[in-house]
Amino acid sequence: MDSPLVFPDPPEGGMTYANWKFSRQGLAEVVSSFHLDNDPGPSSHLYLQLYDAAVDGTGMYHGVQTIGLAIFSRFGTTDLAEVRPGPGAGAVAGTDEGPYVSLRMPFPLGAGSYRSSLRRTSGDREGDWFEFRLGRGAGEPETLVGAIRFPRRRRRVPATMADGGGSWTEAWDNNSGVLHPVAFWQVRLDPPVADGGVPARGVTMRTSRMPNGRIDWDPVRRQVVSVIGGDTRRSDEGPRVVRFD
């Protein structure tokens, strides 16, 4: 019989992490494909972050929440002039995670395949605009969530995303100081592609202190498989590196 799961002291919202290596100095575009093998429901409060990397030193993240929401955020400002919502999206600013601005767009989730893109589209004296789009399946067009402007590190050099950005899962209720049950969720991630066709060359995978998160590489499908919640049991807490070439 399995021993009872031992949970860490809260808060501990993050669950599984996959950091992608392109071996490039900076990225203007990252395209991600992901597959949700089950629907944990809108009350599960789970988040899949797609490629978490600083843009010329400014932190950002983008992804989907199981409450039916697409999110794209950057840190370091509360100025909503830095945000251009797409049709159906809105913009918010706050300071609860440090100063930030964020795009929010309703986007219902369920079991199925999805893809996203985050790319630099234009620039001006104040910085460069990065646009987030999200779509379902292989044949459906992507929906524009919107764009956010990022300051440049060097005035004459367009901003880029850092190599090594991560895809991670989160049960965000557990950031509040109380450990809540985590709904079962299985997510498969194809290695992302950068800058018009450059594939990721490897991935580093790890789990958090939570005992019910597991992340592995499926060599047949060539996908990272992340499983959290329910009766999932962590198989390996330490980092594991897989190279694709």
49-77 average pLDDT score = 98
227-242 average pLDDT score = 91
Statement: residue 23 has pLDDT above 80: yes
What domains are there in the chain, each with its CATH number? Answer: 14-195+208-231 (2.60.120)
Strand partners, 188: 35, 225
Phi, psi of 209 (to 5 degrees): -75, -15
pLDDT band at 245 (very low <50, low <70, confident <90, very high): confident
- Neighbouring C-alpha atoms within 13 Å toward the C-beta of 212: 23
- Alpha-carbon distances, residue 208 vs 9, 18, 171, 178, 221 (angstroms): 12, 11, 12, 16, 24
The pair of structure tokens assigned to 96 is 């609860």
Residues 123-146: tens digit of each pLDDT: 988 899 999 999 998 778 899 999
22, 245 contact by CB (below 8 A): no
Give the strand pairing for 127-136 and 14-21. unpaired
DSSP track, 25-78: S-BSEEEEEEEESS---TTS-EEEEEEE--BTTB-EEEEEETTTEEEEEEES--
Compare 228 and 3 and report the one with higher pLDDT: 228
Burial of 116 (0-12, 13-18, 19+ CB in 10 A): buried
DSSP track, 86-116: -TT-EEEEESBTBSEEEEEEE----SEEEEE
Other Cβ atoms closer than 10 A to 237? 12
Strand partners, 214: 227
The whole-angstrom separation of Cα 138 and Cα 227 is 24
225, 218 contact by CB (below 8 A): yes
- Measure CA of the first residue to CA of the last residue in the chain; give whole Å: 40
What is the predicted pLDDT for the residue at 76?
Answer: 97
Statement: residue 39 has pLDDT above 90: yes
Other Cβ atoms closer than 10 A to 127? 19
Residues 209-220: tens digit of each pLDDT: 999 999 999 999
Statement: residue 29 has pLDDT above 80: yes
161, 10 contact by CB (below 8 A): no
113-126 average pLDDT score = 94
pTM of this structure: 0.95
What is the predicted pLDDT for the residue at 1?
Answer: 56
pLDDT band at 169 (very low <50, low <70, confident <90, very high): very high
Statement: residue 179 has pLDDT above 60: yes
